[in-house]
Amino acid sequence: MTHASRPVRAAASAASLVWFFAATTGCEKPAAAPAFTPPPFEVNVATIAAVDRPWTPTYLAQTAASRAVELRARVRGVIVERAFQEGRLVKTGDVLFRIDPRPYQAALDAAKARVAEAEARLEETQRAVARKRQLFEGDAIPKKELDDAVTDEALASAQLSTRRAELAQAELDLEFTTVTAPFDGKIGKALVEPGSMVDTNMNSLLVELSRVDPLYVSFHVSEREILETEAALASGELALEGDIEHLRVAIELVDGTRYEHEGLVNFRSVEVDPATGTAEVRAEVPNPDERLRPGQFVRVRGLGWTRKAALAVPQRAVMLNGATAMVYVVGADDTVEPRSVTVSRWQESDWLVRSGLQSGERIVLDGLMKIRPGGKVKPIEAGPNSGAPNSGDSGSGDSGSGDSGSGDSGSGDSNTGGSSSKSPRSGSPEAGGSDPAGGERGAAPASGGDGAREANGASQGSADAEQSKPDAGSGKRAE
């Protein structure tokens, strides 16, 4: 071996050693960062209990006079007097209008004269019949003369009856020149004034009179609700105090105040209006102080109804998607699972549940956007059948997990807990409507709240792991 080849071999050995250490160092991997597991966040829950609950069906109604008439002229003539103040209370028999009576007084006098004439004529024929009957009995006249006299008497009697009928009509016509109130009530606006010509045809309407104590309140009930109520009464699900033919109702004014007098239902329509699918129901309400007026819009609330062993869920806990409804149920191990339920109707701040839940189960009231099916939560009991809105709903579920300052806590949570569950009039299963927002909110938990924060935490852990690789390699190379 020459001296020239020794440096070459030494360099090759050194290169092989460097390659070995480099390969050995490259095979080692840094330890992976532990996966980020967010702690269970707090949610308000309510325990559902089957209890007897007062049921107060509510309807939009309109008041109407219990008796209303149009007072019209029954004779032709000129109005000479209006004897009332418009809008005031009038009593039975009060004079309202006077029509010029002079032509009718003259007609009455003429009728009396004709009656007197007919009476005199009848008396004359009666005397003639008496004389001729005596003569006929003495064979002084033929029977035909007696028969003619009897016929004249009958004609005179009929003529007297006609004249007396004409006299009665003349008396009525004179009486009709004075228009009086047929009952106690409120008088409306006068439609004619003194000097106006009225008749019994097109120009006969004088004024309207309405009885406002008692007052009628009319509302309409859908055919579906009628069938549901009858079935619930038959099955015992509903109970009613008193007689169904005389239901009690409470009246609520447009400003939200309750009218002090209760009413009684006195009429239920025997048919359903095919145009609206509803039947009319009418109640009679005392109105001694005339606080209610005809034509006024009010709310009618049925009284005396009780739902037996009813399950109620706060509205904010229900997510609506078209004709379906869903709640989140918390299990014994604090695991959350979605549950489809069947709701029937609104009652105050709750949905009444027909099926899908059992008494004693816990449901989530808020933080619905942050919940992942199968995930753990930290439940905070809000009380049985808690339907009152939580004043801290928008941030209460997040404050326990340190997220009260995030954008999610102020918007997503409150919107989900309130908006999707508080639109039952148009999107309730009962109404057959839809709530698109409810479906979107039910499908979006993976992108909101803690899901995003968990993804951010995982990404941060991966970044830390990647950042540790060159450090580990540098350490090996340094060694």
CB-CB neighbours of 256 under 10 Å: 7
CA–CA dist 469, 473 (Å, integer): 6
Residue 58, judged by CB atoms within 10 A of its CB (0-12, 13-18, 19+), counts as middle
The rounded distance, in Å, linking the Cα atoms of 113 and 107 is 10
Token representation of residue 26: 């490259």
- Which H or E element spans position 237? none
- Running DSSP on this structure, what letter comes out for residue 376? B
pTM flag (> 0.75): no
User: Using alpha carbons only, what angle is made at residue 232 by residues 230 and 236, rounded to the nearest 5 degrees?
Assistant: 120
CA dist 46 and 227 (Å) reads 32
CB distance 284 to 292 below 8 Å: no
Do 454 and 460 meet the contact criterion of CB atoms below 8 Å apart?
A: no
**Amino acid (1-letter code) at residue 124:** E
Q: What is the pLDDT of residue 33?
A: 60
Main-chain phi, psi angles of 445, to 5 degrees: -65, -25
DSSP state of 258: B
Nearest CA to 358 out of 48, 52, 45, 44 is that of: 48
Please tell me the total number of residues recorded for the chain in this structure: 479
CB 293 within 8 A of CB 63: yes
Given a contact cutoff of 8 angstroms between Cβ atoms, the answer to whether 337 and 331 are in contact is: yes
Residue 338 pairs in a beta bridge with 328
**Residues contacting residue 221 through CB under 8 Å, at least 6 positions apart:** 59, 278, 279, 281
Pairwise CA distance, residues 355 & 340, whole Å: 9
Query: What are the structural domains, with CATH classification, of the chain?
Result: 42-52+313-455 (2.40.420.20), 55-64+210-307 (2.40.30.170), 101-176 (1.10.287)
Question: Cα separation of 292 and 173, whole Å?
Answer: 38
Return the beta strands (E) in 149-247 as ranges. Answer: 178-180, 185-187, 197-198, 205-222, 238-240
What pLDDT, on a 0 to 100 scale, did the predictor assign at position 433?
37
Both tokens of residue 8?
């070459």
CA distance 155 to 94: 43
Distance between CA atoms of 161 and 446, rounded to whole angstroms?
Answer: 99
**pLDDT score recorded for residue 9:** 56
Residue 244 is predicted with a pLDDT of: 80
Q: What DSSP line would sit under 319-372, residue for residue?
A: EEETTEEEEEEE-TTSBEEEEEEEEEEEETTEEEEEES--TT-EEE-S-GGG--
What is the model's pLDDT at position 41?
A: 77
DSSP string, 71-101: EE-SS-EEEEEE-S-TT-EE-TT-EEEEE--
Other CB atoms closer than 10 Å to residue 448's CB: what's the count?
20
User: Does residue 213 sit in helix, strand or coil?
Assistant: strand
Take residue 230 and report the two structure tokens written for it.
């009858």
Half-sphere exposure of 10 (CA within 13 A, CB side): 5
Tens-level pLDDT at each residue, the chain (479 residues): 444 445 545 544 555 554 444 444 445 555 556 666 677 878 888 888 888 888 888 999 999 999 999 999 999 999 999 999 999 999 999 999 999 999 999 999 999 999 999 999 999 999 999 999 999 888 888 999 999 999 999 999 999 999 999 999 999 999 999 999 999 999 999 999 999 999 999 899 999 999 999 999 999 999 999 998 888 888 888 888 887 878 999 999 999 999 999 999 999 999 999 999 999 999 999 999 889 999 999 999 999 988 888 888 888 888 888 778 889 899 888 888 998 998 877 777 888 888 888 888 898 888 788 788 888 888 888 754 444 433 333 333 333 333 333 334 333 343 333 334 443 333 333 333 333 333 333 333 333 334 333 334 433 443 343 333 334 333 333 33
Token look-up 């004693």 returns 360
